[in-house]
Structure 1
Amino acid sequence: MPEKPLTIATYAAGASLAAITLVYVFGPTFFLDDEASSTRKKGVVGLHNAANDCFINSILQALAGLPDLRIYLIRETHRRKLDGPEVYNVDPERLSLEKRPMRPWKLEGLQKGTVTYALKDVLDKLNERPIYRKTISPQSFIRALERAFGTRISRQQQDAQEFLQIVTERLCDEYHAGSKARRQAHKLGISITNGNTVCEKQELVDQLGAAVAEAAAKVDKAEDVQDDDPIPEEGFPFEGKMESQIECLTCGFKPKPAVSTFVTLTLNVPQKSSTSLNACFDGMLKVEHIDDFKCEYCRLEHAIQYKTKELSRASAVETKECLQSDISKLQDALEQDPEKPPEGVELPDLNLSPRRRIARHMYISSFPKVLAIHLSRSVFSVGSVSTKNLAKVAFPESLPLGGILNQKKYKLLGMVAHKGGHNSGHYEAFRRQVQPIPYSTPHSFGADGVYS
C-alpha cells in the first residue's frame, strides 16, 4: 500500500489500547442522519454503565450503527422462526457420528442462535428514536452470552477488542451451525425457507427504510443467480478469508496457499510519533523474506540429482531398475504435485536438502461486508511493565483495499477509542447515525458532524 499519509481524519495521542474501526461495504447507499439546520442533538438511546461495562457498551453502540449487521440479524432470526424448532434441535445419533463431538447443550445453543437473538434485541432497542432521554441495560445480552459459554464475563480485564472478538466469533459459529443444520434438514426432506418472506421484508422496511430493503433484495437476486445452492446463504457479514502465500526465490515454486478465516483484523501500530492506517496494513501485508527454508520442489530436484549419481555408480541390474523407477516417480511428482512426494521412494536425509530463501506475503482473498480493524497499541518488553503506544494514527473515511482489478472500498461507520494508560482507562464509541427516511437527510457534513 502507498506510504502517502492519509489526512482525512486523525486519531489523537492517547487513543486506544484496543482501538476498533468498523467500516461498511457492498451495500446500498445509506443516508446520514444529520440535519444541518438543526442545532438540537438527535435522541440516542444510551446504555447503563453499572459495573465498569464501558468495554461492553461501546462495542454494542458501534455494532448498532452497522446496517449490514442488522439486516443479517433480521434475516437470520426470521429464517430460524420460519424453519421451526425441529430443524435446529440436536439429534443425538447424528452428534455421535461427528468427528469432534460437541456437548449437546453447546451445539443446541449454536444451532438455535441464542446470542443472535439477544444481539438483535439489544440493537433494535439502541436504534429507537426516543423523544426523551432514554437508557437501557445490556444485562439481557450479557446474560445470554454467559449462558452460551457457561461462564461469567469478567469485569477485571475490560478489553473491548476481546469482547468484540468473542461476540463476532460466536455469531459466526451460530451462523455456520445453523447453516449446517438447514442443509442436513434439506437432505432429510424437511422444507427450508430461503428468506425474503413478507414479515422479513416488512421488518427491514420498519427498521432500516424502504430504500435499504429494496437494495438488499436486489443484492439477493444477483447472488441467487450466481449460486446454484438449493439453500442460498448470504453469509456472516464479518467473515472474510486470508491467504498466506510463499514462493521459493530459487526455483519459483509456489505451494498451495494456507487459507484462514477471520472476523476481525489486528494491526500493530508502529512505534513512532505518528503513522497512518496504510502503514499499519503494510506491517501485516508486506512481503517477508525468510532464509534457510526447505523448498519441496528443490528437495525433489535434489533427490533426482542424488539418485542419478547413484545410478551412474550402480552395477547391479536390480539396483539400476529400482533407481530408474524412483527417478521416474520423482519426475512425475515434480510435474503433478511437488508437495506430495511419491510413495515407496526413499528421499535423501532432510538435513542434506538445500536451504533456500523464500518470500512470504499475506493477502485478503475474500473481503467481508463489514471489516473490523483492531489497532494494537500494547508494547511488551521482557523484564518491564507493558506500556501503551501513543502514536497518532491517521485514517481515511473511505478505505480502499485489494488490488487494481479487485479493489474494494470500505466506508467508516464507527470507532471505539480507549482513553487512559495500558492498564486502566475508559472506552468511548463513535458511530455514524444511519437512519431511514423520514429522519435521514443527504446533508451528511452539517454543523453537528456525522458522528454522535
Structure 2
Amino acid sequence: MSIKKNVIFKVVIIALLVLRILKRILSSKVVSNKQLVLSFLLVSLTSICLYKFDSITQLIMDPLFNRGGASRFRRRIGRGSGVSDDTVDTVMKRGGLIGGLVNDGNTCFMNSVLQSLASSETFVSLLQDSSLNEREFSCAFRNLMKKLNTKHYKHGHDYKTNALLKTMTKTPDKNFLLGYNQEDAQEFFQTLLSELESDLKKNKKPDEVSPPSTPATSSSSSSSDDEKAVYSSALPQDAVLGNANIGHLGKVYVPASQIDPNLKDANDRYVPYTLLTPVDGLSAERIGCLNCGEMGGIRYSVISGLSLNLPSDNYGALKLTDLLKEWIKPEIIEGVNCNRCALKHVLDYQREQLNKLTSSGSSSTLLIDKLEERISQIEGELKKPIIDDDAIKNLFTDNMMQKSSKSKQILMSRPPPLLAIHINRSVFDPMTYRVRKNNSRVVFPLKLDLDQFVAEPDEINTDARLPMSKKAVAEPVNTEPAEEEEQEQEREDEESDSDDESDDTEKSICSKQEYTEYQNPMSNDSLEGPLVYQLRSVIVHYGTHNYGHYIAYRRYRGVWWRTSDESIDVVSESEVLDAPGVFMLFYELNSLSEEVEDVDLTVDIPELEGSNDEDEDQDEDHDEDHDEDHDEDHDEDHDEDGTAASQAGQRDSDDDDHYNQEQQTSQAFAMANL
C-alpha cells in the first residue's frame, strides 16, 4: 500500500471518529467530564492502533484499491521490453519470485539497499559465518537476506524490516504520522556497514583490527608505524600481499618502506590492515612536491566504496569510467611548504654565506665552524628518503620560507570483492544558495575493468613528479598556464557566449551512439582479467533533492528484477542499462560473481532465538492475506490484471510516470498461464 494512501486512510478514520464524538457531545445537553475523558482515550487508542499495526490498515485498504495483496505476482514481463517466455519458465524452475519489502512509511531508501546487497554472493556468504550466531544484528540481517532470496515460486511474499531495525543502535528518525523521515540510501548503506563491522570486531582480538594509516610526516606517526610493522620473517605463511586473493577478508600487508621509508629496516617490514566486509578495500594516496618529487609517504586507508561527484552543470550523458578517471585525476595544490625544497634553499644560502666569509679572509673561525656544522647537518637530513617535521623545526628559518606546488592523487591499491559506487548528485546552486539535484544520465557497463584505476604497492611511483601508477603514461604537469593558452581560453569563452546553439551538443559528454556501444553487453562478453567486475545491482532515485523515491534493479536467478518496495517485476537487461537517476552501483569481482542458479543462497542458517518472533507472526498473517487474494486473482483476465497493476503502481508514481513515457508498450499476464 502506498505511503500517501496509508496516511490518508489513517487521517480519515481519526477525523471521522472525532466528528462522531463531537456530534454526540454537541447533541447532548449535558457533557460530563467522564464523557470527555472517554472520548479522548478512544481517539488516542484508535490513533495508536492505526500507527502501530500497519497490517490492520493494509488489510482494510488492499481490497479498496484492488491490490489483491501487495506481494501478488503482478507480472508485467519486462513491461514490453522483450523478456521471453523461456526466460520466465527458467526463472520459475529456479525458484520464481524473490521477496519484496514493505514500505513502512518512507522506507524505500532502506529497501533499495537491502535488495541490492541480497544479490551479492560474497556479502550473503559473510552473514552466514557461524561466528556471528550470537550477534543480534547480524542474525536479523542474514535472516532478512535469506527471506528475500527464498524460492517463492508463484506466490510472492513481502517482509518487514522491523526486526532488523530493532537490533540497530542507530536508526533513521521516525515521524508519528508520516513514518520514517526520508534519508539518503548511501547513508543507510554506511549505517548497515557500521553495525556489521561492530559485530565483526567483537569477534576479533584487539590486535587483529588496525586503524587507517597516517602519512609519516611526524615522529608520532613514525613511532606508531614502527609498533605496527611486522618483519617479513614473522609474517604468517598464508599472509596476503598486494592484490593476491581479492576475495580474502582479514589482514593484508603493505610494505612499510612506502608508508615510512625512514623506518628502521623498512625494506624488510610490512604494515597490516584489516578488511572486515566484502565492500572493504585499500586506497593509496600520494601527496608530493612537483619541484623535487618528495612525498611524505603513501597514505593507505581502508575504504568501503567510492563516492563520485558529478559536474555542477547538467550534461546529456556521462560515462562511469570518465567519472572514475576524474576521481584518480591529480589535484594541484599551490602555495604550500615542502620540507626538502625548504632545506635545499637554506643549504644554498648557508653555502653562499660560508663562501663570502672564506673569500673575504674573515678571522671569525667560530662563525665559520658554526656554518660548516649547520651545512653538514642539512646535508645529512637531505640524504634521508623523507624529511620529517622535527628536522625542519631545528634547521629551518621561517623568514626563508619558499612556497612550492604539490600534487595530490588517489588510487585503489586493493579493490574490494564487492565494489559499491555512490553517484553524488548533490550540487550547490550559487543563484539560490540551495543544494539541488544534478539529473545528468550516468552511463554504466555490465562489466567494469578496474585495471587503470588500481595500483599495487610495487606499481606506485614514489617520485611525485611521475604518474602515481607505473602503468600510466607520463604526462607533464603544467601548474602555470602559458599566456597563449590563457588567450585561447578567453576566445573559447567568447565563442561559447555568442553561440547559444552549441550548448546542447557541448553538454553531452558522450553521444547516444557512444554510450550505446559502451553499454552493449555483446562487447563486454569477452572482457576478461583479474580486475574485471560484473554488475550485480543498481539503485535509482526519482524526484528532487529533498524528496523522491528509490528503487533497485538486482540480478538474481539469471535475470534482472525491478524491486520497488512490494512491487517486484522481471525486466530486460536493456531496461537496467537505460535507467535514469542512477544513485548507487554494486559491482562484484567477476571470478566471485557466479550466477545464482549455480549457488544456493537460501541455505538453512541458525537464527537468534526469539529475535524475529514478532516479524514471523506478521509475515504469517501477511502470507494468509496474500494467498487468499492470490487465489482470487488467478481467475482474472489480462485486462483486469493490468488495471489492478496500474492502480497498485500509484504508490511509486514518480518513477512509473517517467518509466511509462519511455516504455509505451506494456504487457501483463496472469501467473496462471505459466
TM-score with structure 1 length normalisation? 0.66
The residue aligned with 2:450 is 401
Unaligned residue ranges in structure 2 (runs of 5+): 1-84, 210-244, 253-269, 358-362, 457-529, 558-595, 602-666, 668-674
8 Å contact 1:48–1:138 — kept in the other structure? yes
The residue aligned with 2:342 is 299
8 Å contact 2:165–2:171 — kept in the other structure? no
Task: Report the CA distance between 1:436 and its aligned residue.
Answer: 4.1
Supply the distance in 1 between the matched residues of 2:136 and 2:286 (Cα, whole angstroms): 37
The residue aligned with 2:143 is 121
The residue aligned with 1:209 is none
Residue by residue, what CA displacement relative to the aligned partner does 1:328-371 show, whole Å, maximum 9, x if unpaired?
22222211143315659733434532222222211111211111
8 Å contact 1:333–1:342 — kept in the other structure? no
State which of 242, 252, 257 in structure 1 corresponds to 2:283. 242
Task: Report the CA distance between 1:165 and its aligned residue.
Answer: 1.5
The residue aligned with 1:138 is 161
Residues 1:421 and 1:233: Cα distance change in structure 2 (over 3 Å): closer
**One-letter amino acid matched to 2:538:** M
Task: Report the CA distance between 1:152 and its aligned residue.
Answer: 4.9
Higher relative contact order (CA 8 A, sep 6+): 1
**One-letter amino acid matched to 1:136:** Y
The residue aligned with 2:366 is 318
Residue by residue, what CA displacement relative to the aligned partner does 1:21-75 show, whole Å, maximum 9, x if unpaired?
xxxxxxxxxxxxx963628772111111121111111111111111001111112
Shifted more, 235-244 versus 61-70: the winner is: 235-244
Spell out the pairing of 1:28-47 with structure 2 (5 A cutoff): 36=87, 38=89, 42-47=96-101
- Asked if 1:68 corresponds to 2:93, the answer is no
The residue aligned with 1:445 is none
Q: How many residues align?
A: 335
Supply the distance in 2 between the matched residues of 1:387 and 1:74 (Cα, whole angstroms): 41
8 Å contact 1:300–1:338 — kept in the other structure? no
Residues 1:289 and 1:325: Cα distance change in structure 2 (over 3 Å): same
- Secondary structure of 2:196's aligned partner: helix
Residues 1:149 and 1:180: Cα distance change in structure 2 (over 3 Å): farther
**One-letter amino acid matched to 2:185:** A
Spell out the pairing of 1:219-238 with structure 2 (5 A cutoff): 235-238=276-279
Quote the sequence identity (%). 26
Task: Report the CA distance between 1:80 and its aligned residue.
Answer: 4.6
Supply the distance in 2 between the matched residues of 1:141 and 1:233 (Cα, whole angstroms): 26
**One-letter amino acid matched to 1:125:** K
Supply the distance in 2 between the matched residues of 1:249 and 1:438 (Cα, whole angstroms): 51
Residue by residue, what CA displacement relative to the aligned partner does 1:273-320 show, whole Å, maximum 9, x if unpaired?
211101211221112222222112101111212322343456533333
The residue aligned with 1:379 is 427
C-alpha RMSD of the superposition: 3.5
Supply the distance in 2 between the matched residues of 1:255 and 1:218 (Cα, whole angstroms): 28
8 Å contact 2:112–2:550 — kept in the other structure? yes
The residue aligned with 1:444 is none
State which of 432, 442, 450 in structure 1 corresponds to 2:555. 432
Residues 1:339 and 1:48: Cα distance change in structure 2 (over 3 Å): same
The residue aligned with 1:79 is 131
Residues 1:325 and 1:341: Cα distance change in structure 2 (over 3 Å): farther
Spell out the pairing of 1:15-30 with structure 2 (5 A cutoff): none
- Asked if 1:412 corresponds to 2:522, the answer is no
8 Å contact 1:243–1:362 — kept in the other structure? yes
The residue aligned with 2:382 is 334
State which of 298, 303, 318 in structure 2 corresponds to 1:257. 298
- Secondary structure of 1:52's aligned partner: coil
Residues 1:327 and 1:56: Cα distance change in structure 2 (over 3 Å): same
TM-score with structure 2 length normalisation? 0.45
State which of 154, 169, 194 in structure 2 corresponds to 1:169. 194
The residue aligned with 1:15 is none
Supply the distance in 1 between the matched residues of 2:115 and 2:171 (Cα, whole angstroms): 25
The residue aligned with 1:266 is 307
**One-letter amino acid matched to 1:324:** E
- Asked if 1:359 corresponds to 2:374, the answer is no
Which of the two has higher C-alpha Rg?
2
Task: Report the CA distance between 1:122 and its aligned residue.
Answer: 1.2
The residue aligned with 2:205 is 180
**One-letter amino acid matched to 1:79:** S
Task: Report the CA distance between 1:381 and its aligned residue.
Answer: 2.1
**One-letter amino acid matched to 1:275:** L
- Secondary structure of 2:449's aligned partner: strand
Supply the distance in 2 between the matched residues of 1:301 and 1:45 (Cα, whole angstroms): 67
Supply the distance in 2 between the matched residues of 1:113 and 1:439 (Cα, whole angstroms): 23
8 Å contact 2:381–2:391 — kept in the other structure? no
- Secondary structure of 2:147's aligned partner: helix
Structure holding more helix per residue: 2
The residue aligned with 1:290 is 333
- Secondary structure of 2:395's aligned partner: coil
8 Å contact 1:275–1:394 — kept in the other structure? yes
8 Å contact 1:330–1:341 — kept in the other structure? no
Supply the distance in 1 between the matched residues of 2:540 and 2:403 (Cα, whole angstroms): 46
- Secondary structure of 1:336's aligned partner: coil
Task: Report the CA distance between 1:150 and its aligned residue.
Answer: 8.2
Task: Report the CA distance between 1:256 and its aligned residue.
Answer: 0.8
**One-letter amino acid matched to 2:303:** F
Residues 1:365 and 1:392: Cα distance change in structure 2 (over 3 Å): same
Task: Report the CA distance between 1:149 and its aligned residue.
Answer: 3.5
Shifted more, 35-44 versus 393-402: the winner is: 35-44
**One-letter amino acid matched to 2:451:** G
8 Å contact 2:343–2:392 — kept in the other structure? no
Unaligned residue ranges in structure 1 (runs of 5+): 1-33, 82-111, 185-216, 441-447
The residue aligned with 2:170 is 149
8 Å contact 1:401–1:409 — kept in the other structure? yes
- Secondary structure of 1:298's aligned partner: helix
Task: Report the CA distance between 1:421 and its aligned residue.
Answer: 1.4
